[in-house]
Structure 1
Amino acid sequence: MPVRLRKFIGTILIVVLVILYALLANTIAVATLAESPWWVHLLYFSLTGLLWVLPAMLIIRWMAGPPPK
């Protein structure tokens, strides 16, 4: 697969990942954290704010292609 196509597909996947992840994380927060104290909200949004990076790293690694020999 050409590098430009791989990067285009990866960019689309990252945008979709971020949108879907934000919707899911906020939906879970609204459904479960309504009566929680402020520090639970802070902890939850800190963790979920960083957690999306893991699948994004995999996509970026795929976009970079195979390692040079």
Structure 2
Amino acid sequence: MSAPLIPARLRKFIGGIGILVYLAAWIWAFTSLYDYLPSNRAVHLIYFVVAGMGWGLPLMPLMSWMGKADKKIGQ
């Protein structure tokens, strides 16, 4: 038994809302944690590289789910 199909437009809408919520939480968390960093430029550089690049990896499964094509009836 397969799971019920969700139309592509609805998946993209749900995924878009999910991405916005996730990014808002990510930005809030990383800007809140910034106050606790030591005053060191190297630490700040590493912190912002991780913050700037690290958000995409957890979203990859969601983006993959959003991009799935609709199945035709009978497949």
Q: May I ask how many residue pairs the two structures share in their alignment?
A: 66
2-structure distance, mates of 1:29, 1:58: 28
User: Deviation string for 1:16-48 (max 9, x for gaps)?
Assistant: 111110000111111x21x32111101111111
Please give the TM-score of this superposition, normalised by the length of structure 1: 0.83
Q: For residue 43 of structure 1, what is the aligned residue in structure 2?
A: 46
Which 4+ residue blocks in structure 1 deviate beyond 3 angstroms? none
| 1:65 to partner: Cα distance | 2.1
**Structure with the higher helix share, 1 or 2:** 1
Two-structure CA RMSD over aligned residues (Å): 1.8
Q: Which protein is bigger by CA-based radius of gyration?
A: 2
Q: Which runs of 5+ in 2 are unaligned?
A: 1-5
Match of 1:28 in 2: 33
Which runs of no fewer than 5 residues in structure 1 stay unpaired?
none
How many angstroms does 1:8 deviate by?
Answer: 0.4
Q: Percent identity?
A: 38
Structure 2 residue identity aligned to 1:16: V
Q: Partner of 1:60 in structure 2?
A: 63
Counterpart position of 2:17: 12
